[in-house]
Amino acid sequence: MSEPFLPYGRQSIGDDDLAAVAEVLRGDWLTTGPAVQRFEADLAAQTGGTPAVAVTSGTAALHVAYAAAGLGPGDEVVASPMTFVATASAAALHGAKVVFADVEPDTGNLDPHAARAALTSRTKVVAAVDYAGHPAELDELRTVADSAGALLLEDAAHSIGGSWRGRPVGSLADLTTFSFFATKNLTTAEGGAVVSASERLLERARAFRNHGLVRDRAAQRYPDEGGWHQEVHAFGLNYRLPDVLCALGSSQLRRLAEFKRRRAAIHTRYDKAFADLDGVRTPVTRAGADPMWHLYPLRVLDGRRRALFDHLRGLGIGVQVNYIPVYWHPVFEDLGYRRGLCPNAERFYSEQLSLPLFPDLTESDVDRVITSVRSFFGA
């Protein structure tokens, strides 16, 4: 292999990011301090003013959001299977039953009609995923959730910075979760957030990320123990994102618009390069959607996805497949889920291939990907 390996995703770290982290390291706070509050405020500026609760990962954000929703045994969550397993496993860890509903065949997002058909009297949350950064049909899904008296959760791990019908991601659902993993649209190394316009849900999220500790004397059962006293009224976990990583997040947020422009430009180049190519289908953009493209999900037809995957990997191009339908994982199979449950999702998976897409991808890198894909098809 004469050229360096090209990953499908990679963080972009600049001098300002390094300086922001170094400033915290020289200060008094490494864990929960002023950088956390600043990062949460900076996030709210991206979500139309919707308040944010920073946590340690996108998975933690989902676990916290389901806790804030009061999810427990006997409850059901209607969810998309075209996602990373955490969207469903975080609900299952609260004891809830996950009811998978099929996706739209073109976007890979949760189909509102399928979601409605999956509702029962036990549905507590409808969990949509903004697949690849394209917002889900959030207005229709809001109607679906409301019809069951359920909360709408938007798993926006891919889509911070995007919008749906003029409204920013994070301002549309009852609960929205973000991920700031290294390959995401901005990074805190590991990290995530829960955002909500509901003060009740925010209070529950803040409590769960901090062991459920109650420090407010007015709310304590035994407030006369002393100034040191704290109580746990409901179980939680330590999901606090530290100052040092929040400082990185605030710095990254200042570059989010730049990241979005670059991702969109690469996405457009791929679209144009493959428009005439038999054997593939390029991603769609629905009217009203302003995606923050996290993935470029090329659809490879005629059963040739694996061959193209192996071809590109052999050339040092780190393509990926996103995702195996969640209920195909043995942990869900062992709970009784069977293949064939969501035909659109399974077909989407069988064709999907993520091409490299990240802000620091150079024009020559993009040329290399395009040439390699086209050469596979003899074009």
Q: List residues with catalytic annotation.
A: 184
Tell me which DSSP letter residue 218 carries: G
Tell me which DSSP letter residue 135 carries: P
- Distance (Å, rounded) from C-alpha 162 to C-alpha 132? 11
The DSSP string of 253-297 is HTTHHHHHHHHHHHHHHHHHHHTT-TTEEPPP--TTEE-----EE
Is residue 357 within 8 Å of residue 9, measured between CB atoms?
yes
- Distance (Å, rounded) from C-alpha 150 to C-alpha 142? 9
Helix, strand, or coil here: 177?
strand
CB atoms within 10 A of CB 323: 23
Is residue 302 within 8 Å of residue 347, measured between CB atoms?
no
Rama region for 272: left / alpha / beta (φ>0; ψ in -120 to 50; rest) = alpha
Is residue 178 within 8 Å of residue 192, measured between CB atoms?
yes
Nearest to 324 by CA among 333, 311, 335: 333
- Distance (Å, rounded) from C-alpha 260 to C-alpha 161? 7
Q: At what angle do helices 363-376 and 305-314 cross, to 10 degrees?
A: 130
Residue 195 dihedral angles phi and psi, to the nearest 5°: -125, 145
Residue 65 dihedral angles phi and psi, to the nearest 5°: -65, -40
Sign of CA dihedral 338, 341, 347, 352: negative
Is residue 123 within 8 Å of residue 78, measured between CB atoms?
yes
